[in-house]
Amino acid sequence: MSGAKISAIKPNSPVADLDICVGDELLAVNGREPTDIIEYQQLIDGETVTLLLQREDRPLRHQVRISKMAGEPLGLSIDSAVFDRIRTCDNHCTFCFIYQLPKGMRRSLYVKDDDFRLSFLYGNYTTLTRFTEFDLERVVDERLSPLYVSIHTTNPDRRADMLRNPRGATSLRWLRALLDAGIEVHGQVVVCPGVNDGIELEETLVDALTNYADLASLSVVPIGISDFSNETSMRAHLPDEARDVVRLVTKYQTLGNELLGRKTIFASDEFYLVAELSTPGPEDYPSLDQAENGVGLVAAFGESFTMFSPMDKLGSGFFQSVDGAPALGYRAPRTLDDHEPEHAPSDEIAILTGEYAAPILRRLLDQSGFDDVAVVPVINHYFGGNIKVAGLLTGNDINNTLASRDANTTYLLPDLCLSEGRFLDGLSLEDVRGNVRVIPTTGFDLRNVLHEWRQQRLVLV
């Protein structure tokens, strides 16, 4: 059970001077017990709101009546997105990354959710194997859109095998029902070598353009394998296998554009990097809806950096929602609040990133006249395997990387490897050695920081 507790009260808000305290448990709104932040937002929308609260040091519950303008926020922050039990996943996917986690991480990271509410709020992918008629009715009535669905394969038997759940063979009927109701859906296919690639992948892409032609997008991503995987049948892609996937995706992306008048099928940037191919340019991506799956991220980052133009900040992806981050309206914030201590000017500056991003950043910097800025790839020993993305960097690996480097250098770290100020291995920023400065994960923000640093150097000279 997640529960719903008040985590913050905004000053000068409609509730600022009322009998409400941080830590109060929210039991009901206008006589109804909300089950999640979505329902809560709907209930507080009117001009009069009545909250039923329970305070730890009070034996009795108490009511608070609030008068405000219709649509005006109450000014309360809730510490969870789901107030009842998170709907956990009952699949046992052969490629599930949660099964590949080392022991000793914080408990919430081992929660496998398959909850459509978290799909709506955070962009988590759901297999729909626990989806029901009641869920469909709520999604359609409340227009909970977009949703994100894990497809993997449209072959019923193969999907049931991959999910290790017989309902995997039939649950895509809910995908069809959602699309028929006009719900925007983004799909994903995690490609596992020798399992759902080759002809299986081609048939899935054909179905995506025929049976599910109204999908908003479909991302095709490689399997992630850590050193802790116990699945002997699962392995990372070889470069030629990755090239075959890119070739198929390109073929059906082109075909889809001809048939539907829009691009819907995309390979993740990681496939291009493994295949040793150049990633497509920003003009090839109509949106960043699948950016956290690595689709178009390199192109968007590069355009933002070279054009010095803002782009959407990115969240921490895979592990963001399980800690129940508070929601902002109907969409949950994915990055930390901007709260960075002052950093003393430094003669040298370097960028910490994952192994995949390092050569890309190096080229961007050299092309833009920042050849004096170092790029420091952090090898992911914590997870091992083929895990080389910046979003899964850990505090221990950063410490190991910085142990033999210049302590007088300022190291820039992308914020997408943090969630609520913590790395996946539980370390906080305070535990990281060296002069590390966290910056938003956008090309614009990186270039802005580099410009500031260069200006400081000129002043010091």
pLDDT tens sequence across 194-231: 999 999 999 999 999 999 999 999 999 999 999 999 99
* Boundaries of every domain in the chain: 6-78, 98-295, 348-460
Q: Which residues are bridge partners to 428 per DSSP? A: 422
pLDDT > 60? residue 338: no
Q: Which of 76, 83, 78 is nearest to 20 (CA)?
A: 76
> In which residue are the tokens 């129940």 written?
324
Topology of domain 6-78, CATH: Pdz3 Domain (2.30.42)
- Note the pLDDT of residue 127: 97
Helices 297-307 and 357-367 cross at an angle (nearest 10°) of 20
- Give the CATH number of domain 98-295: 3.80.30
Q: Which of 106, 131, 110 is nearest to 119 (CA)?
A: 131
* Cα–Cα distance list, 216 to 33, 254, 268, 306, 439 (Å): 34, 15, 16, 29, 31
pLDDT tens sequence across 261-271: 999 999 999 99
Helices 239-260 and 198-210 cross at an angle (nearest 10°) of 20
How far apart, in Å, do the first and last CA atoms of the chain sit? 58
For residue 459, what pLDDT band results from cuts at 50, 70 and 90?
low
- Note the pLDDT of residue 165: 97
pLDDT > 70? residue 1: no
Q: In which region does residue 164 sit, left (phi positive, over 0), alpha (psi from -120 to 50) or beta (all else)?
A: left
pLDDT tens sequence across 386-426: 999 998 999 999 999 999 888 889 999 998 888 778 898 98
Nearby residues of 274 by Cβ (< 8 Å), 6 or more positions away: 222, 236, 237, 239, 242
- Note the pLDDT of residue 109: 81
For residue 343, what pLDDT band results from cuts at 50, 70 and 90?
low
Q: Which of 164, 2, 97, 130 is nearest to 319 (CA)?
A: 97
Question: Under a CB-based contact definition with an 8 Å cutoff, are residues 32 and 50 in contact?
Answer: no
For residue 460, what pLDDT band results from cuts at 50, 70 and 90?
low
Mean per-residue pLDDT, 224-239? 94
Percent of the chain with pLDDT over 70: 91
- Note the pLDDT of residue 130: 96
Amino acid (1-letter code) at residue 410: T
Percent of the chain with pLDDT over 90: 71
For residue 252, what pLDDT band results from cuts at 50, 70 and 90?
very high
Instruction: Using DSSP, state whether 349 is helix, strand or coil.
Output: strand
For residue 146, cis peptide bond before it (omega within 30 degrees of 0):
yes
Averaged pLDDT of the chain: 89
Phi, psi dihedral angles at 276 (to 5 degrees): 60, 40
303-328 burial code (b ≥16 CB/10 A, e <16) = bbbeeeeebebbbbbbbbbbbbbebe
For 18, the token pair is 């009322």
Amino acid (1-letter code) at residue 317: G
For 52, the token pair is 């039923």
Candidate from 274-278, 323-327, 367-371 with smallest mean pLDDT? 323-327
The more confident residue out of 420 and 20 is 20
Phi, psi dihedral angles at 449 (to 5 degrees): -65, -40
pLDDT > 60? residue 461: no
Q: Distance between CA 36 and CA 86 in Å, rounded? A: 10
Q: Distance between CA 267 and CA 227 in Å, rounded? A: 25
For 165, the token pair is 């759940």
- Note the pLDDT of residue 365: 96
Q: Distance between CA 27 and CA 221 in Å, rounded? A: 41
Q: Distance between CA 30 and CA 56 in Å, rounded? A: 21
- Note the pLDDT of residue 81: 85
Instruction: Using DSSP, state whether 392 is helix, strand or coil.
Output: helix
What pTM was computed for the model? 0.89
Mean per-residue pLDDT, 269-293? 92
What's the DSSP call for residue 325? P
DSSP letter for each residue of 369-387: T-TTSEEEE---TTT-TT-
What's the DSSP call for residue 126? B
- Note the pLDDT of residue 108: 77
pLDDT tens sequence across 94-151: 999 999 999 888 787 888 889 999 899 888 899 999 999 999 999 999 999 999 999 9
- What ranges make up the beta strands (E) of 164-313? 185-191, 217-222, 265-267
